[in-house]
Structure 1
Amino acid sequence: MTAASPKKTVLIRADAGGLLGSGHIMRMIALAQALRQRDIKAVFISVLCHPSMRERLQKEGFRHVLIEDAEVGDTRDAQQTIALAKELGGEWIVLDGYHFDLPYQKQVRTPGFKVAVMEDNDHCEEWYADLIVNQNLGTEGKVYQNTLTEGKALTGCHFTLLREEFQAYPEREKAPAWPPKRILVTMGGVDSDDATGLILRSLEVTELTNLEVKVIVGGGNPNEAGLQKAAAKSKHRVELLVNVTDMPSLYQWADAAITAGGSTCYEWMRYGLPAAVVTIANNQEPIVEALIQKEAALSLGKIGHLNETAAAKQLQEWFKEAPRAATNPLVDAHGARRVAAYLDTKLIISIASAKDSWINPSIKKFIQTLSENGHEVVWVHNASEAPPSDILFLLSYWKIVSAAVRAKHAHTLVVHGSDLPRGRGWSPATWQILEGCNRIPMCLLEAADAFDTGDIYLRTQMKLRGDELIDEIREEQTAATFRLCEMFIDQYPAITTRGIPQEGSPSEYPRRRPKDSELDPEQSIAEQFNRLRVADNETYPAFFKHNGHCYTLKIERMEAPE
């Protein structure tokens, strides 16, 4: 009996507690969950970790190793991290923390190990990493000085790491009430500066009354007792929630959020929730600046320079204005899946096609090629039956796929045979051939609520001579289709940031019907050759009417007789 292949392992080096907060480990939980979905084991390594975070990792089912006799980021830390990597057999070491500087990166990137570094605020001038990930708003296309010339960077909100619970909840079905009646307050897992208390006191100073306020208190927050007293005396209905694990339901409940300016912002952005932010650490300044530029949130200011009176005045004015809200697609729930796919090197792919489509025999060969390249592929004829994937390709699939189904996949992609937005609709290649075209544009685009309206990633052309019959046309169309799919796969996940919205005046082709294959017996064959050659001899044959009868006319290529 052949022994089962050992699971891949990824080592995650991150800390939590004290001034470090809990954000680094929380977003690494998101990556670890995405790795687990790919059957890759994640092991956490820390020098510092608050007991509440260790308990959280245990509940999540992740192994956690605590390094002793070391300071965060020092040589002993790096040495023990490498020793654990060798012991556990990890291929990748992921570093999430601003103390992991250039010397540390060089120490841990030893032969046999690759290094990925999470980056938020240029904590290094120079890098030594196989992968740099910056998940932050406004960083798309950022270039790093990386000593490893083969190193890559994944930048922007397409790579924001949100935990898997954010995939299980739908988008908000209706806009939040405004002025808000329900307010969610969360200032991170530690909040040593008591920004939470400042916000509660600010809400007391406002003229607003009878608000419902839910306050999230992290396990490392030293001010819980004082917050309980403030909640009990408040003129509003204030509820304190400790060590919350179901954040999505709270974002769904709230009309507005008041939060720290860290990675929590990407959670409420996921739900399009209006928010005000307090900058409680220097590393949050770039995020807050980007939110202001996008007009996605109100900045209340920086802790230490903010008092209750000033905050209350800003909040009161904010409630009178139109709400500022970050809306999709700034952030989706698949950033962790995209980063995990890069670490994995293989993709999880679903393909959906109509059960009776002409492309199905070619899909079998395409799947074989993808499997030989190491990808996992599932083929279905009902898109709702496709398991969660990195990519769901809709190939010759004629149904609208709901947002709920698309949300299961990082990307749901369609190949369409026209120069979008011109030529949306049905059988665009056939209609263009009937118009006399021999150069048929082909687009790979994101599926959307309406047919053929999503962002376009790639374009190519199907080149015809003008004498091909239906089977040959389909061969060319299939080749162009798979070429686009393979290009997207080869460039994944970096290509996911390159979708371009459609521009220009749209046009639409109607659905072809059997009557569209009717010939005019008064016209010559040459005049109607395009209509003949796009007709399917089996399902939609060309036909003509004569003397009260209907006749089928089939066309096949043959050698010219001598």
Structure 2
Amino acid sequence: MRCLALAQELDLNQVKVTFLVSESSLAFCRSRHDWVGKVIPVPDCSVDAEIQWMQQLPEFDQADWIVLDGYQFDQAYRFAIKNTGKLFALFDDNNDSGQLYADLLINGSSHAPLLNYDQTAATAQRCIGEPYRVLRHEFRITEPMPFSERSHLVICFGGSDPSGMTLSLLQALESLSASMSVRVITGAAYRDGMALDDFLKRTGLIVQHLPNHQQMADCFSRARLAISAAGGSQFELAACCTPSILAVVAENQRLATAQAEQQGWCEVFDMTQGESVKALAETAVMLWSQSSKLATMHQKAGQFADTMGSSRVFESMSAMLGSDGKRFKGG
């Protein structure tokens, strides 16, 4: 989603965008109402063959920048991209995958300046830290609601929820006789839809299910409290000034989430360390009853609500095209 956010900024500035994606990602791309840019499927082949195929594309020849985002792009792949001679931008999270070889490094996490990028990206221009949080355009144009007008709990564990947190959390809330209104968001890759539907038919909870929901800024901005996986959604929640409980479900989420917790707008449960869904549900019910604490969390989130990161990255990319004043090729 970070690449889509950056692509939206480029598109707003009349820059042509082309995505090269795996066949398995095509359906997702086509399902997005806010998608921008042409989409080309990448053939299933070796790294060398993929780079060679890429270089033969007319879009590659015309490109000013190549942007990578994904854990699958290892050190060897990045080195191959660097050797194409194109300017190369890379989204990174934890600086834990060897030499980066990027001309421009993007990491909007609070902890990014502490990651010793001098060792892996010594010559790269660095768009790192909170000012470079790249968010989709909807978060820039949506005004967060005042806390007093917010009325529901939002639950969102990403596009696929591989740990099955959504249903487990609803069951835990039901066992606690939770009475708040709940909005549950699941993504296109969510696989427990039938089990969730069966639960919703018989539960006493007040639940609205929003499958493959795409108006996330509007939904987060209306939430009195959110429970979310601690991935990129945490930056979206902060931008919406939404008090949150963040569940760490992967090792690479821990550093950024620890920084968010210190900012005071969220509480954190580290599910990788054995914390229970029941305890998470109990905390949600307790927080829901503490209006003054939630209002304070809302105010603290507002102190870190910055939605201009995409613009700052675009400015850096544009400036790096040449000291002679050259800018992106127009659309």
TM class, shorter-length:
0.7 to 0.9
- Residues 257 and 105 of structure 1: is their aligned pair in 2 closer, same or farther, counting only changes over 3 Å? same
Unaligned runs of 5+ in 1: 1-25, 348-371, 377-562
SS in 2 for 1:327: helix
- With over 3 angstroms needed to count, the CA separation of the structure-2 counterparts of 1:129 and 1:85, relative to structure 1, is farther
Quickly say closer, same or farther: Cα 1:87–1:158, change in 2 above 3 A.
Answer: closer
Q: What does residue 310 of structure 1 align with?
A: 279
Mapped to 1, the partners of 2:320 and 2:100 lie a distance apart of 26
* Cα contact 2:241–2:305 (8 A) shared by 1: no
Give the Cα–Cα distance (whole angstroms) in 1 for the partners of residues 20 and 124 of structure 2: 23
> Between the two proteins, what is the percent identity of the paired residues?
22
Evaluate the alpha carbon distance shift between residue 79 and residue 373 of structure 1 in structure 2; reply closer, same or farther with a 3 A threshold. Answer: closer
Moved over 4 A (4+): 85-88, 146-149, 372-376
Per-residue CA deviation, residues 245-268 of structure 1 (Å, 9 max, x unaligned), is 211211222111111100011111
Partner of 1:62: 37
Q: After TM superposition, list the pairs within 5 Å mapping 1:107-506 onto structure 2.
A: 107-140=80-113, 142-145=115-118, 149-172=122-145, 174-176=146-148, 181-209=151-179, 211-302=180-271, 305-321=274-290, 322-323=293-294, 324-325=297-298, 326-345=300-319, 373=325
- TM-score in terms of structure 1 length: 0.53
CA contact 1:166–1:248 (8 Å) conserved in 2: yes
- The count of residues paired between Structure 1 and Structure 2 equals 321
Structure 1 residues 97 and 238, CA gap change in structure 2 (3 angstroms): same
Note the C-alpha offset of 1:70: 2.8
- Normalized per residue, which structure has more helix? 2
Deviations 1:474-510 (A, max 9, x none): xxxxxxxxxxxxxxxxxxxxxxxxxxxxxxxxxxxxx
- Counterpart for residue 6 of structure 2: 31
Contact 1:198–1:307 (Cα < 8 Å) also in 2: no
Q: 1:154 to 1:142 in 2, by over 3 A?
A: farther
AA in 1 matched with 2:71: Y
Distance 2:34 2:117 in 1: 36
1:49 to 24, 38, 60: 24
Give the Cα separation in 1 of the matches to 2:34 and 2:216.
Answer: 16
For the 8 Å contact 1:101–1:123, the answer to whether it is kept is: no
What are the within-5 Å matches in structure 2 for residues 9-20 of structure 1? none
Q: Which runs of 5+ in 2 are unaligned?
A: none
| Aligned mates of 2:62, 2:81 — CA distance in 1 | 14
What is the CA–CA distance in structure 2 between the aligned matches of 1:285 and 1:192, rounded to whole Å?
17
Q: 1:105 to 1:82 in 2, by over 3 A?
A: farther
The 1:266–1:70 alpha-carbon spacing in structure 2 relative to 1, beyond 3 Å, is same
Which structure would you say has the larger RCO, counting Cα contacts within 8 Å and 6 or more residues apart?
2
Supply the RMSD in Å over aligned alpha carbons.
Answer: 2.7
Equivalent residues of 2:139, 2:240 under 8 A apart: no
Mark the CA change 1:77 to 1:251 in structure 2 (over 3 Å): closer, same or farther. same
Instruction: After TM superposition, give the deviation of residue 188 of structure 1 in Å.
Output: 0.7
Q: Which amino acid aligns with 2:8?
A: Q
**For the structure 1 residues 341 and 56, does the alpha-carbon distance in structure 2 shift closer, same or farther, using more than 3 Å as the test?**
farther
Output one character per residue of 1:342-393: Cα deviation in whole Å (capped at 9) or x when no partner.
122289xxxxxxxxxxxxxxxxxxxxxxxx95689xxxxxxxxxxxxxxxxx
Residues in 2 aligned to 1:140 and 1:165: alpha-carbon distance in whole angstroms: 27
Change (3 A) 1:44 1:344: same
| Counterpart in the other structure of 1:447 | none
**How far, CA to CA, are the matches of 2:33 and 2:207 in structure 1?**
30
Report the Cα distance in structure 1 between the residues aligned to 2:124 and 2:58, rounded to whole angstroms.
20
Q: In 2, Cα distance between the equivalents of 1:64 and 1:131?
A: 23
Report the alpha carbon displacement of residue 124 of structure 1 after superposing the two structures with TM: 1.9
> Would the aligned equivalents of 1:46 and 1:66 in 2 still touch at CA under 8 Å?
yes
Output the TM-score relative to the length of structure 2.
Answer: 0.87
